[in-house]
Amino acid sequence: MFDFPELGIRLRAFGQPTDVDNLMKQGNDAEIAPLLTSRFIVPRGDEAYREMLKNDYEKKTEMCCVVETIPSSKDESPEYVGTTALWQSGEPGMRHVRFSIVLEKKFWGKGLGKKLTNFMVDHAFRHLNMHRIGLGVFEGNERALAVYKQWCATFAFDPKLCKLNFDSRTKWICAGRYREKVELVQR
C-alpha cells in the first residue's frame, strides 16, 4: 500500500469484491466511458463483462492499484477514487508497459492525476525496472492531455507504440517515455 497523506489518498492492490463494481459504474457513466474505451458506449452489466474486467485487471497488468481516500477515523470507510495501472505491453521480458489512470468525476481538477502519474512513472522505472512506458489518450480527454503535456515533457510521440483506432469519436494519441530519456532529464 502506498499512502499520500498530503492528498488524503492511498493506493492499494486491486482485488476487493467492490473493485469490479466500481469499474462497471465508471464504464456505464456517460461522461467517463468515452474516455476509457474504444468499445461502443452502451450500458453494460452482464456477468460476461464483469468477468472480462476482472480478468483484464488481474491478469493483464504488471501493477494495478485502486485509489481510495484515507479515512480520518476508524469509524469511516475509504471512498473509491479510481484506478491506476501499468498494463503489460508486448513480450513480458521487454519490460514495456502502458500507463492508465481513471478517476471518479468528483475528484477531477484536484491535482490527483498529476501526482499519481508522477508516482506511477517513477515507480515503474525505479522499482519495477521498466524500460519504456507508453500512454494513450482518447481524443477529447482534455484533462489527461493537460496533465501529460504539462508534466511529461519527456514523453514523445512514438509510432511504434501507436495503434490508431478510428471510429466516429475516438483516436489514440500515443506517446512513449524511455528510461534513458528520464535519466538524462534527472541529471
Q: What is the pLDDT of residues 132-141, one digit of tens each?
A: 887 777 767 7
**CA contacts within 13 A on the Cβ side of 76:** 9
Report domain extents, the chain: 2-132
How would residue 8 be classed by pLDDT, with cut points 50, 70 and 90? very high
* Mean of pLDDT values over 73-92: 90
On whether the 2-132 domain is CATH 1.20.1290.10, my answer is: no
| C-beta separation of 62 from 97 below 8 A | yes
- Work out the pLDDT band at 178, boundaries 50, 70, 90: low
With 80 as the cut, is the pLDDT of residue 185 above it? no
This prediction's pTM: 0.79
pLDDT at 58 over 80: yes
What is the model's pLDDT at position 158? Answer: 52
pLDDT at 180: 55
Average pLDDT, whole number, for the chain?
78
